[in-house]
Amino acid sequence: MAMKAIVKSVISGDSLLLRGSPGPQGQIPKERVLHLADIQAPRMGTASREDEDWAFESREFLRALAVGKPVTFTSTHALPPSDDVPRDIGTAEINGVDLASELLKNGWAKLKDLKRDPTEEDVRKREIEAEARAAGKGVWNPHGPKARATNYMMPTDSQGFLAEYKGQPIDGLVEQVKDGSTLRIRLLMPDGDHQFVNIALAGVRCPRVASKQGEASEQWGEEAKFFTESRLLQRYVKVTLLSLPNAAPTPFQAGANATAPPPATIFIGTVLHPAGNVAEHLVSAGLARVVDWHAGMLASSGGMERLRAAEKVAKEKRACLYANAPAPSAKSNGAALNGSSRSFDATVTRVWSADQISVVDRETGKERRLQLSSTRGPRPSDPKQAYWAQEAREFLRKRLIGKHVKVHVDFIRPREGEFEERECATVRYGGQNSNIAEQLIEKGLATAVRHKRDDEDRSPEYDKLMAAEQAAAAEGRGLHSGKDMPAPKQPLNISESAHRATTFVNGFKRLGRIPAVVEYVAAGSRFKIYLPKDNQVLTLVLSGVRAPRTARNASESSEPYGPESAEFATRRYMQRDVEIEIHDADKSGGFIGALYLNKTENAAITLVKEGLATVHPYSADNLSWAKQLYDAEEEAKQAKRNIWKDYDEAAEQATEAPAEDANGPLKTEYLDVIISDVRTKPHFAFSIQILNTEGIASLEQLMREFSLHHKTVAAPPGGFVPRAGDLVSAKFSDGQWYRARVRRASPVKKEAEVTFIDYGNQDTVGFSDIRPLDPRFRSLPGQAHDARLSFVKLVPAESEYHEEAVDRFRQLCEGRKLVANIDHREGPVLHLRLIDPTNPAVAHDPYESINVELVREGLATVDKKGCRYLSSYPAMAKKLQEAITTAKRDRAGMFEFGDVEEDD
């Protein structure tokens, strides 16, 4: 009985593999082998056996005649099945043409020796064979087959083979379909040889098909295999080799020490049929998924874009593998996201790391912190990545800080663990609208995030990012270089102490303007500056101006316009390339000087002009640009900007006269005090407690409770790091706990410099002896007051009498109850006239004091420069002059060897 089937493939010149039609529900059709009766063709070879002569040509004739075409066949004899595939001997016709007769006619098969009486059909076929032999057709060709080598195994030197033929289209014949995206192809090499290779289709992966009995195929695996077989098996194609199957090299993998890779078992490439690229059709039919990391191979040809388009079609149809895929999100350019615009123009104000920046929306002025979509920068905490993390951050800083960019927010990454919710965006800059993330990855300074298979929250240019990473890996750039780069050295903080800062001042003055980078903005006029050339950091305080103070912690409050001043300076100067000039250093280690942006913009003048800082006359008058500062302040006043919002010129002029008497005498105010601390660094000063006040009584009660509290308080959590300005409990050298304020802290040394706020003394304390201050001990203000002697100053530190002067002061004052009069207030510092109540002379002379006594002993001098209010106390001036005369007459102290010139 005649049956019908489709020729799936041709095994050899006398054998066919047939298949039925797919079932009504798309079921995979069954197969059977048909050996053509009474003829014999040359056998094809294998890895262990060479082709017989003319085997390929014979099979090729039948392949061209039959593959993919409907055939009518009759089974004359059944053979035992092979791997559950039925086998038959019989005859077959295509469009009424008998295949056996056609093979004999063209000389590609021979009749077998028959062991039966020849029939009329046998005689006819014998005559056909004789005609072909006489004509020298096919296997009867007297010149023999063309010489060629057929290599059934993959090339031994797979790297070399790929290097020679990569990117070149090669004709090939699909010999086997292992699964929907894995093919075994006979390459017809330019030299005439045949080379078998295994090819994985670039850009896609189909579900796996079972290779052994008893194994189960993955869902849709058999369907994908049939899809490819029915279109490509034993069809001629163009093959382009692209890569070996190792994914993009992992950053920091071994470079020079890596051993030679073993021979590959498969290549990655494209397989093009005249009707199109089967990979794209597989994806659009939902029978393959797109492989992200192949993007680099397909970037130049636009292949990845076509695959993504096919993927979109499959997802919309929810076909096969994409039946449960989430619906494609509608990401329009203008749609709002959490109330904010999705696409906007912005200015970059800060680079946080290799993959995070802050920008200010140019329309709304709102600052937004962004994560670069699908981009992962090197981690500074990893020693192997720290060098590249700094390089990447610097790359972004140089290209983006202060620049106009176009931002498109692609998605919002939800809060997860310690990571906050973050807007993830594509950021473009420059005339070419370049994607900064792509440039970063292309230089090997970041990698593309490996998203989960159906994760739609990714960069719209994800394939370009993957292509950029593969390009960087191929060239061995940055992270992919395999080099062990040493972690960057921590910059030296030359503002750590006043002593250290002072040693640098003269050198900086000689240098003039110094190239620098603004590392951080602490306040409107206070900056942390990085000097790249010397790998140093310093604190810079702007000369000639004072910006409103900003709160350093939750317990403090900012001065009016303090936050605005700091924000303005941050947006304008943060991480910018600048130049600085150093004029001096202050007592805390900060450098006093000027900061210039773009060589011409003086930051101090800009802040004053914006009404975010005021001129400080004492320091401004000595500057060469003092007039510009005063002009800028006047302009801000007239425009009523910020600080000068409520400025009233008439009222200001009316109060100018009284203001001029700021150095006038204060009303006599005698206080009972005790000197609680005397210090000589960075200069001579002391602290007092004012006795007989509610504060001192409260302090005594507080200290009793404080002592009990610290007998039971637990050690601080392991991660506790005190910060400058924090109120804390600290253990003093006497082993007791006291309230203190942190002046500066060093996480590296795990110690902090603190001032004990109730006594005024200072110390360096390890983190282990510091605790957060319990809230119930915070309400009482610090009971120590900073003070200095009014009218006079001790002999300078370079004098040989300085130590004697300090010792004499301690002898007269330290730990004793004294009476003090406040002669002047300089901010928080009290200028005190100290009076010894046991001295009988004070009963009739209010100016007799320890201040005068020190002058009389030649251990102090009149401080005309620091105490400009002296002229308001003529009686005191006269008393001091008398004391000087006495000291000179008695050759006391500094006058031991005669008169000396006073330092005015």
* H, E, C per residue of 114-132: CCCCCCHHHHHHHHHHHHH
Query: If you average pLDDT over residues 320-345, what whole number do you get?
Result: 67
Q: What is the pLDDT of residues 443-472, one digit of tens each?
A: 999 998 888 877 778 888 888 888 888 888
What is the C-alpha separation between 793 and 810, in angstroms, rounded? 14
CB-based burial, 610-620: b 16+ in 10 Å, e otherwise: bbbbbbbeebb
Residues across the chain: 904
Query: What integer pLDDT is reported at residue 662 of this predicted model?
Result: 54
- The angle subtended at Cα 211 by Cα 205 and Cα 215, nearest 5°, is 105
Q: d(Cα 455, Cα 424) in Å, to the nearest integer?
A: 14
Q: 228 and 180 in contact (C-beta within 8 Å)? A: yes
Per-residue confidence (pLDDT) for residue 455, from 0 to 100:
76
The per-residue pLDDT for range 286-299, each reduced to its tens digit, is 999 998 888 878 87
At residue 329, the pLDDT reads: 53
- Position 660 confidence tier, pLDDT thresholds 50, 70, 90: very low
Buried b (16+ CB within 10 A) or exposed e, 127-144: ebbeebeeeeebbbeeee
**705 with 778: CB under 8 angstroms?**
no
Under 8 Å between Cβ of 637 and 612: no
Rounded to 5 degrees, φ, ψ at 300 are -70, -30
Give the CA-trace dihedral at 871, 873, 879, 885, to 10 degrees.
Answer: -10
Q: What is the mean pLDDT of the chain?
A: 86
Report d(CA 738, CA 730) in Å as an integer: 6
Backbone angles phi, psi at 208, to 5 degrees: -75, 150
Exposure string for 201-227, b = 16+ CB within 10 A, e = fewer: bbbbbbbbbeeeeeeebeebbbbbbbb
- Give 870's pLDDT tier (boundaries 50, 70, 90): confident
* Residue 682 preceded by cis peptide, ω within 30: yes
pLDDT band at 152 (very low <50, low <70, confident <90, very high): very high
Is the CA virtual torsion 887, 891, 897, 899 positive or negative? positive
Q: What is the pTM of this model?
A: 0.60
Cα separation values, 890 from 237, 245, 857, Å? 116, 98, 9
Which tokens belong to 499? 């002593």
In the structure, what pLDDT confidence band is assigned to residue 694 with cuts at 50, 70 and 90?
A: confident
Which ranges of 493-616 does DSSP label H, i.e. alpha helix? 498-511, 562-573, 603-609
Average pLDDT score over residue span 642-654: 73
Q: Which of 396, 359, 361 is nearest to 375 (CA)?
A: 396
Q: What are the pLDDT digits (tens) for 48-87?
A: 888 899 999 999 999 999 999 999 999 999 899 887 889 9
Poorest-pLDDT segment among 292-306, 497-511, 625-639, 740-754: 292-306
Over 789-804, what HEC string results? ECCEEECCCCCCCHHH
Count of other CB atoms within 10 angstroms of residue 706: 20
Q: What SS3 class is residue 336? A: strand
Cα separation, 664 vs 669, in Å, equals 15
Closest CA to 233 of 465, 24, 17, 528: 17
No. of helices (H) and no. of strands (E), the chain: 21, 48
Q: Report residue 137's pLDDT band, with 50, 70 and 90 as the boundaries.
A: very high
And the tokens for 804? Answer: 């004697």
Q: Helix or strand or coil: residue 314? A: helix
User: What pLDDT band is residue 259 in, cutting at 50, 70 and 90?
Assistant: low
Q: What is the mean pLDDT of residues 884-904?
A: 77
Residue-wise burial string across 439-468, b where 16 or more C-beta atoms lie within 10 A, e elsewhere: bbbbbbbbbbbeeeeeeeebbebbbbbbbb
Residues facing residue 612 across a β-bridge: none
How does residue 611 score in pLDDT terms, banded at 50, 70 and 90?
Answer: very high
Overall average pLDDT of the 748-758 stretch: 86
d(CA 844, CA 710): 49
For the residues 626-650, what does the mean pLDDT come to?
A: 86
Report residue 160 as tokens.
């070399």
- Tell whether the model's pLDDT for residue 652 goes beyond 80: no
Q: Which amino acid is at 314?
A: A
Its sign, for the CA torsion 148, 150, 154, 156, is: negative
Give mean pLDDT, residues 802-816: 88
Burial 30-67 (b: 16+ CB within 10 A, else e): ebbbbbbbbbbbbbbeeeeeebbebbbbbbbbbbebbb
653 contacts: CB under 8 Å, gap ≥ 6? none
Confidence class of residue 115 from pLDDT cuts 50, 70 and 90?
Answer: confident
| 251: pLDDT strictly greater than 70 | no
Q: Which stretch of 69-73, 443-447, 630-634, 658-662 has the lowest confidence by average pLDDT? A: 658-662
pLDDT cut 70: percent of the chain above it:
93
Residues pairing with 199 in the sheet: 183, 267
Paired sense of beta strands 817-826 and 670-679, if any? antiparallel
Q: Where residue 147 falls among pLDDT bands split at 50, 70, 90?
A: confident
> DSSP labels for 402-460?
T-EEEEEEEEEEPPBTTBPPEEEEEEEETTTTEEHHHHHHHTTSSEE----TT---S-T
Q: Which two tokens stand for residue 631?
A: 């002009």
Count of CB atoms situated within 10 Å of the CB of 28: 14
Residue 30 carries which side chain, given as an amino acid letter?
K
Give the whole-angstrom CA distance, residue 176 versus residue 161.
21
User: Which of 735, 794, 790 is CA-nearest to residue 765?
Assistant: 735
pLDDT reading at 248 higher than 80:
no
Residue 828 has pLDDT above 90, yes or no: no
Distance of CA 596 to the CA centre of its chain: 28
Place of tokens 């990655």: 268
762-766 and 751-756 as β-strands: parallel, antiparallel, unpaired? antiparallel
Mean pLDDT throughout 816-824?
Answer: 88
Percent of the chain with pLDDT over 90: 42
